Amino acid sequence: MKQILALREKRAKAWDAAKAFLDTHRSDDGLVSAEDNATYEKMEADVVALGKDIERLERQWAIDAELNQPLSKPLVSKPGDPRTTSASLRATDEYKQNFWQALRNKTPRIEVLNALQVGTDSEGGYLVPEEYERTLVMALEEQNVLRTLCHIIHTESGDRKIPLVVSHGTASWVEEEGAIPESDDIFGQLSIGAHKLATMIKVSDELLQDSIFNIPDYIATEFARRVGAAEEEAFLTGDGLAKPTGLLNATGGANVGVTTAGTSFTADELLDLVHAIKNVNRRSATFLMHDSSVKALRKLKDGNGNYIWQTGLREGEPDKLLDHPVQTSAFMPQIAASNKVILFGDFKAYWIADRQGRSFQRLNELFAATGQVGFRATQRVDGRLVRTDAMTCLQIKTA
In the chain, % of residues over pLDDT 70? 72
Highest mean pLDDT among 155-169, 339-353, 358-372: 339-353
In the chain, % of residues over pLDDT 90? 23
Question: pLDDT by residue (tens digit) across 169-200?
Answer: 667 777 777 777 776 655 555 667 788 888 88
Which pLDDT score is estimated for 215? 73
Highest mean pLDDT among 220-229, 299-308, 323-332, 353-362: 323-332
Residue 366, pLDDT above cutoff 90: no
Q: Nearest-CA neighbor of 245 among 257, 255, 236?
A: 236
Considering only the top CATH level, what class is 93-157+192-244+352-385? alpha beta
Residue 106, pLDDT above cutoff 60: no
Q: Nearest-CA neighbor of 87 among 79, 228, 67, 139?
A: 79
Question: pLDDT by residue (tens digit) across 226-283?
Answer: 888 899 999 999 998 889 999 999 998 999 999 999 999 998 999 999 999 999 899 9
Question: pLDDT by residue (tens digit) across 45-95?
Answer: 888 888 888 888 888 887 777 777 665 555 444 444 544 555 555 667 677
**Average pLDDT estimate for 215-231:** 79
- CA 392, distance to chain mean position in Å, is 18
Which pLDDT score is estimated for 74? 53
Which pLDDT score is estimated for 107? 45
Pick from 5-9, 249-253, 289-293: least confident: 5-9
Which pLDDT score is estimated for 187? 52
Which pLDDT score is estimated for 90? 62
Which pLDDT score is estimated for 335? 95
Q: What angle do CA 110, 115, 119 make, to 5 degrees?
A: 115
Residue 114, pLDDT above cutoff 70: no
CA dihedral 55, 61, 64, 66 (to 10 degrees): -80
Q: Nearest-CA neighbor of 150 among 232, 223, 224?
A: 232
Dihedral sign from CA coordinates of 85, 90, 95, 99: positive
**Average pLDDT estimate for 92-99:** 69
Confidence of residue 167 (pLDDT cuts 50, 70, 90): low
pLDDT, mean over the chain: 78
